[in-house]
Amino acid sequence: MPADWLRPVRMALDAREQAIDIFFRDDDAGWDDDRLYALLECFRDCNIPIDLAVIPEVLSQSLAGSLLGRWRRNPFMLGLHQHGYSHNNYENQGRKCEFGVSRSEEQQFKDLLAGKQQLECLFGLALDRIFTPPWNRCSQATADSLLKLGFQALSRNRGAAPLHTGTLREIPVAIDWCGIRIKSVQPWVALGQAITDVLYPEHPEPLGIMLHHAVMDVDDLEHLQALLELFREHPNTNCRLMREFLEVRQSTDAPGRSCPLESQAVLTATRSCLI
């Protein structure tokens, strides 16, 4: 592995006057469990938190139980939130989108509600009220439905077309790890430069890095581990979970509070969904 692809990233971090908040969002939990577990081990070994965007319709009870167990052991290192419903494309032309303009608000609301209920049944209070649309695209009807359903945040690409989101917080990603790697002749140089470009100049927003475990190989994990180690050790980085950027934090973020799923009533309800 080339040793210098992270050099511009390190230099940019050294030059910062203030530390930057960073989060990692891995999409498509429910697909290719073995690669997901490999990614989770990488983050665990580096002691860096990670958020998983979970597809409700394809999530198996086995994976749900495993993720819930990981969350219960350390809720401050794993975030779980909803990623669409089925991850199907409903657009007949143009870019792929599950929650696009071709679908009415009623259709979108129905799927969003179904997915929310499925994940709440499996994860209980471990589920964050955050929504990531497949392909990072959605319509105004999506935002309106999310507000009605009590979601707190929407996560898309930085620079996505603005929506009227009301109280819905936006937590955008700036780096598409796999997109940059796949499209570049020198993937790691390009990825290092893309991260560096976000670090310059000083920017108040957190740096969000999007991953897709299902298309990540051993080489990806080796380079990712090097980046995680840099972020873990550098004084100008704070790696956080997405829920930490919400104005109203869930009780799991409060110091000195017990894990909310220790409530016997919640544990019983959650276990019943896994049977």
Ranking 131-135, 155-159, 253-257 by mean pLDDT, the lowest is 253-257
- Amino acid identity of residue 97, one-letter, is C
Tell me how far apart the alpha carbons of residues 254 and 248 are, in angstroms, rounded to a whole number.
11
Q: Percentage of the chain with pLDDT > 90? A: 83
Say which residue, 225 or 262, is predicted with more confidence: 225
Q: What would the pLDDT profile of 56-112 be if each residue is shown by its tens digit?
A: 999 999 999 999 999 999 999 999 999 999 999 999 999 999 999 999 999 999 999
> For the chain, what is the domain count?
1
Omega into 201 within 30° of 0, i.e. cis? Answer: yes
Q: What is the pLDDT of residue 202?
A: 64
In angstroms, what CA-CA distances link 45 with 41, 67, 226, 228, 247?
A: 6, 16, 12, 10, 30
Looking at residue 89, the DSSP 8-state letter turns out to be -
Report yes or no on 2 lying in a domain.
no
Residue 39 has pLDDT above 60, yes or no: yes
Q: Give CA–CA dist 55/84, Å, rounded.
A: 6
Instruction: Tell me if 170 is assigned to some domain.
Output: yes
Q: What mean pLDDT value characterizes the chain?
A: 90
Q: Which residue, chain included where needed, has tokens 């939130």?
A: 81
Which CATH number goes with the domain that contains 243?
A: 3.20.20.370
Host domain of residue 79: 7-274
Tell me the pLDDT tens digit for each residue of 46-59.
999 999 999 999 99
pLDDT over threshold 70, residue 12: yes
In the predicted structure, residue 257 carries a pLDDT above the cut 80: no
**Residue 1 domain flag:** no
For residue 47, tell me if it sits in a domain.
yes
Mean pLDDT confidence for 176-191: 94
Place 205 in a pLDDT band, splitting at 50, 70 and 90: confident
pTM of the model: 0.89
238, pLDDT greater than 90: yes
- Give the contacts of 203 (CB within 8 A, at least 6 positions apart): 20
- Number of residues assigned to the chain: 275
Is 57 part of any domain?
Answer: yes
HSE at residue 95, side-chain half, CA atoms within 13 A, is 10
Judge whether 127 lies within some domain: yes
Among 259, 254, 234, 253, smallest CA distance to 46 is for 234
Place 273 in a pLDDT band, splitting at 50, 70 and 90: low
Q: Is the pLDDT of residue 271 over 60?
A: no
Question: Collapsing DSSP states into helix, strand and coil, what is residue 141?
Answer: helix
**225-to-47, 84, 112, 220 alpha-carbon distances in Å:** 11, 28, 34, 9
Q: Which of 7-11, 145-149, 234-238, 269-273 has the lowest mean pLDDT?
A: 269-273
User: Cα separation of 186 and 175, whole Å?
Assistant: 16
* 247 pLDDT tier (thresholds 50, 70, 90): low
Instruction: Say yes or no to pLDDT of 263 above 80.
Output: no
Does residue 236 lie within any of the structural domains?
A: yes
Q: How many CB atoms lie within 10 A of CB 69?
A: 9
Report d(CA 252, CA 116) in Å as an integer. 19
Q: What is the average per-residue pLDDT within 152-179?
A: 96
Task: Give residue 259's pLDDT.
Answer: 39
